[in-house]
Amino acid sequence: MIPVKKKAGTAELLFKSARKMGLNPVWLTPNGLFVVTTNKGERYVNHEWSSLNSHISASLARNKYKTRLILGRHNLPNIPYSHPRSLDEAIGFLAKHKKIIVKPLKGSGAVDIHVVSSSDQLAALDIRHCILEQYVAGKEMRYLVLNGSVIAVHESKYGESVDQHRYLERVSYDSTLWDPELVKMSVKINGILGLAFSAVDYIIDDSGRQYVLEVNSCPGFKWFHAPSEGPVVDVAKLFLEAMVSDTEKR
């Protein structure tokens, strides 16, 4: 057996759950790829790509600009955004909104994300491969969706910082505290993008206005299994059960 490197915990959680389920998991690479055996043969599990989502669905969610375009077509609550073609266009967006977030089009895990409030900051960035969004302060919520149902809800607490290594707390919410409107919206967004599994993130400002912050087609599991506080959700087991069921249907 090839020893696994420590990652964010998702691969390890999936592997341990697969073992408990009798799927006979075997590591193929040290960075998170393993194989399981189902009634229909072998299936591969890669914690960086969800096997439940189609390639086109995952690619739409992975590209933040394409996600925003699709959300806009369905009148869902987008944060004001821009995919600028020039520095001047980016500066104009900044002048309008005063404070913005600059994100890689296909980034993840808060890598290379910047809070920008001056044109000098913009000039130092390669904005050709970025999306610009108005900075919105508020409460950040994550709704995890699996096969058309919300299975877990978290509040992410880390203040204004967007640093990858920022201090973070994730508070898991009991189902009685889930916002029915956001539950419905999360399921709708998954259906529009054709996703079977994803996390839909929202920001809720001080006035209570809700915005879609991001759609993640391959969210990490660690915080669902070990939240800072609140109920634990065994996402790894639920994910694998859905994967096995999907395999048997095929």
pLDDT at 3: 42
CA angle 209, 231, 9 (to 5 degrees): 95
Whether residues 101 and 196 share a domain: the answer is: no
pLDDT tens string, the chain, 250 residues long: the values are 444 344 348 999 999 999 999 999 999 998 689 999 988 889 999 888 888 999 999 999 999 999 999 999 999 999 999 999 999 999 999 999 999 999 999 866 566 889 999 999 999 998 888 999 999 999 999 999 999 999 999 999 875 555 555 667 899 999 999 999 999 999 999 999 999 999 999 999 999 999 999 999 999 999 999 999 999 999 999 999 999 987 666 5
Whether residues 67 and 149 share a domain: the answer is: yes
Whether residues 73 and 149 share a domain: the answer is: yes
Whether residues 144 and 129 share a domain: the answer is: no
pLDDT in tens, 64-120: 999 999 999 999 999 999 999 999 999 999 999 999 999 999 866 566 889 999 999
**Backbone dihedral region of 32: left (phi > 0), alpha (psi from -120 to 50 degrees) or beta?**
left
Model confidence, pTM: 0.91
**37: in domain:** yes
**184: in domain:** yes
Whether residues 94 and 164 share a domain: the answer is: no
**Backbone dihedral region of 172: left (phi > 0), alpha (psi from -120 to 50 degrees) or beta?**
beta
Whether residues 73 and 153 share a domain: the answer is: yes
Query: What is the rounded distance in angstroms from the CA atom of residue 160 to the CA atom of residue 152?
Result: 24
